[in-house]
Every structure is written in C-alpha cells, then in structure tokens.
Amino acid sequence: MNSTDLKFLVVDDFSTMRRIVRGLLKEMGCNNVEEAEDGAVALATLKAGKFDFVVSDINMPNMNGFDLLKAIKAEDSLKHLPVLMVTAEARKEDILLAAQSGAAGYIVKPFTKATLEEKVQKILQKLAAVA
C-alpha cells in the first residue's frame, strides 16, 4: 500500500497540531489530508467520505479520541480504518485502553517527524501483510 495514494483524516482540537501533522504527512508524500477539530466532526466526516487512515488526538471537546476510536470500530463501514493515536496522554492505562479498543498505534507528544513516519509505515506494512 503506497502511502502517497491514501486519504488521511487528522483529528485534533488544536489547529497548530493539525497543521504540524498535515505538514509532516505532506513531507512523506501524503498530500490528500483533511482535518477535523473534534471526534464528533471526525466521525461525521469519515461517514461522509472515503478515508484510508485516521490520526487522532485523545483530549478533545464534544467527542474525545477514545470515544471516536470506539465509534469507528463499532461502525461496519469504518471499522477497517487504522487509527493512530497522537496524544499528550502518557498514562499507561490510557495506552492500554487505546490498544484494547483497536488503535493501530500510539504516539505520545511531543514527537518527532521520524516517529510519525515510522508508525505510519509500520501500520501500512501490517495492513498490506493482512490484505
């Protein structure tokens, strides 16, 4: 699976963080990126369009990242989507909850470009191996 062909949704209530992740994805050759400012908007956006990858924060108003992840995994049309959590939440219980809820990966902020690239590629390789 070539990451440059994929459509990403970046979910975070801070516009600067959405810009940073979008910029990093662009440097990886992923130019097809949309944004959502919270889980509720993200879920509606995902249902309305065809996306291939979700990068989501956890602490957000209206619907947090955990609830978004659970909603995605509960929806037949969306449960196949890989969801990479990118968050300041560093508590072990949150990391485990994300993994048990079906998150494809977990990155703690602050993070580096290399970490994001590594995690995205790792997830895509796993998906390609399963397909």
Partner 1 sequence: MKMDLAADLQPAPAHASVEVFQQIGTITRLLHDTMTQLGVMPKLQVATDGLPDARSRLHYIAEKTAQAANKVLTSVEQAKTDHAAITAATQAMARDIVADPVKAVASGAVYNFVREIETRTSTIDAHLTDIMMAQDFHDLTGQVVAKVVALANELEDSLVKLLVQVVPEDQREKVDPNTLHGPVVNPEGRTDVVANQGEVDDLLASLGF
d(CA 84, CA 120): 8
45 or 115, CB closer to partner 1?
A: 115
26 or 80, CB closer to partner 1?
A: 26
14 or 77, CB closer to partner 1?
A: 14
Contacts of 1 (CB under 8 A, 6+ apart): 124, 127, 128, 131
The C-alpha angle with vertex 17 and arms to 14 and 20, in degrees rounded to 5, equals: 155
Kindly identify the residues of this chain, within the stretch 68-127, that bind partner 1 according to CB under 8 A: 88-93, 95-96, 99, 106-113, 115
Q: Write out the residues near partner 1 by the rule CB under 8 A.
A: 12, 14, 16-17, 19-20, 23-24, 27, 59, 88-93, 95-96, 99, 106-113, 115
